[in-house]
Chains A and B, each alone.
Chain A
Amino acid sequence: MKHILLATSIVICLALVPLVITKEYILNLIILVSLYTVLSQSWNILGGYTGQVSLGHSTFFGMGALVFRYLWIGGLSPYLALGAGSISSLLLASAIGFPAFKLKGHYFAIGTLALAMIALITVQNVFPGVSFIPPQYLKGYSLFPIYYMALILGTVTIVLVYGLSRSKLGLALVSIREDEDAAEAIGINIFKYKVISMSLSTLIAGLGGGLFSFYVASYYYYVPFDLGWSFDPVLISFIGGAGTVAGPILGSLVFVILKELFAISLGQINVLIFGIVFIFTVLFFPKGIIGIPKLLQKKKLSVVSMKEI
């Protein structure tokens, strides 16, 4: 209950931010954190809860962006376009993603990476140009609608993952992560739950892509298909804590702040630092930042019990 109250008050505060702060820099930061939260929560459902490490989420992110941009410029309202983009990501997943479940363990990771590369090369060749916003849209370009879309998407995603983590469905997904054969033995239809997990994940990734396309005015068509959109959510979720609700949020916050700190002075070095932190997380803190307090507690406990003996 305490968590819910805290989360609600944070969301209300964030909703009031644009009324108080008019600095675009702060709004941009919050939009970026929301964007990365949406994307990494999407990855978290499939990779963190279900244990299927995907290296191909850029495919679904990019699909959402592509369809959103096309429909939005075609005159559809942003939120309808967002929905359509999200659903087209799901359709793409059902064509190429679900068959990938024939791949187990690490084969799934490298198989989805291959899919992401196929998508990237194809988009680079089919849509070689830059996607511009028409001038009449650019005149009305303002951060406020983007800010609220980011906030709404972020909140919806987090609520969804929170609900998932406390539901029977979430339990089924975790049981697949822990031991696929044992889960099957107790009567869990593995394929069905993997498909549900991936559907949720790709729907959210598509929403994230739509947000990107709404936020960034003009970009090369292939940019949302860039492999970075596949890799970043993996790093963010693991560093924050994969398979938890708060982990990806915390990870996104750290990621965006690091990115901003070093973007001016050293450019790429944030990815370098993040890569090093990621390796250390995998080796020493498998539960991520979220799990560190618990880890320390356990160590203290074990010291105490040693003394008692």
Chain B
Amino acid sequence: MLKFFQILSYGIINGGLYGLVALGLSLVFGVMNYLNVAHGGLIMLASYVTFLIFSSLHIDPFLSILLVTPAFFVIGWVLFKVLYQSLMKFTEGEKIKNSLLISFGLLLIFANLAILLWTADERAVAPWYTGKVFDVFGVRLPYTGLGGLALAITVIIALHLFLTRTYFGKAIRAVSLDHEAATLMGINVNKVCLVAFSIGFALAGIPGVLTSLHAFNPAISFDLTNKALVVLILAGVGSIKGVLIGGLFLGAVEAAGVYLVGTPYREVFGLILFVLILMFRPQGLAGKKA
């Protein structure tokens, strides 16, 4: 029974990370129908940046978020101007297909760039609290995991509040509903898309910090993109609150798989769930829009 709770707690901690991983992807897809599969590659790059900051400047990884996110905001800004702006004129289906192809190329570029710059070896950031755990009735809860879960919940709620309570957040939501109507209401759709896209990139910096605390290498890009897509489908497109629930659900499903079958197949359960949902409920478990 202890083993069950141990695995479940790890599943929930992972689930928070998955929610965070999917957040930027979900925002960008919801607002402008760009399926940015390069998101996992960005998170991987953010892990390396965190690693470099930690090893050269000795800044705590959780604090380095303040450096990493603005940097990724700028990267998103530049990439939107260079690559993605020209897709704005396409129809919805064309947008998804072309952005999928372009970001797929970016994903390969990021992964191979990381191998060239930093080799394919595994690395990890190890601050003083690595390996320290709370002991709750025999269930071991690592400090890093709890910190990550708290961070995930905070960031997701903050983004939700930003989108529902602020003027600019409301503009983003208006654009995601209908570009033309938003234009007619006097919203600068191009600018809103540019900023939302950049925020999506900046949001890749935060999970990057969390993944840097465990062993990582350039190949995690593909796994992370994959996790983000699974959560996106679980949550339903464009739902920010759904992302947290979807992430936690995926973590729990994986935990159940580990408990019943074994660790090597952990990823498979999420993927099978993903394919089944794609087939039978493509609008997501929580989503209403077809």
Q: Which residues of A contact B (CB under 8 A)?
A: 53, 55, 99-100, 102-103, 105-107, 109-111, 113-115, 117-118, 121-122, 124-125, 227, 231, 234-235, 238, 266-269, 271-272, 274-276, 278-279, 282-283
Contact = CB atoms under 8 A, between A and B. Distances in A.
Given A118-B272, A125-B265, A111 B278 contact: yes
Interface string B215-240: 00000001000100110000000000
Nearest to A115: B275
Nearest to B120: A268
Nearest to A280: B105
B86 to A, nearest CB: 7
B271 A117 contact: yes
Nearest to A227: B222
Contact of B86 (A110, A266, A269, A283): A283
| Residue of A99, A114, A278 with most chain B CB atoms under a 10 A cut-off | A114
A268 B112 contact: yes
Question: Which of B102, B108, B272, B282 has most A Cβ within 10 Å?
Answer: B108
Interface string B77-114: 00000010010000001001110111011101100110
Nearest to B87: A283
A227 to B, nearest CB: 6
Contacts of A235: 105, 108
Contacts of B279: 99-100, 102-103, 111
A225 B54 CA distance: 36
Majority secondary structure of chain A interface residues (helix, strand, loop or mixed): helix
A279 B268 contact: no
Contact of B226 (A100, A117, A275, A278): A117
A231 B229 CA distance: 18
A283 B222 CA distance: 23
B115 interface: yes
Contact of A53 (B97, B113, B264, B278): B97
B116 interface: yes
Nearest to B269: A118
A272 B222 CA distance: 16
A109 B108 CA distance: 16
A234 B112 CA distance: 17
B102 A107 contact: no
B36 to A, nearest CB: 12
A276 B226 contact: no
Contact of B106 (A103, A125, A279): A279
A7 to B, nearest CB: 29
Nearest to A99: B279
A272 B100 contact: no
A285 B61 CA distance: 42
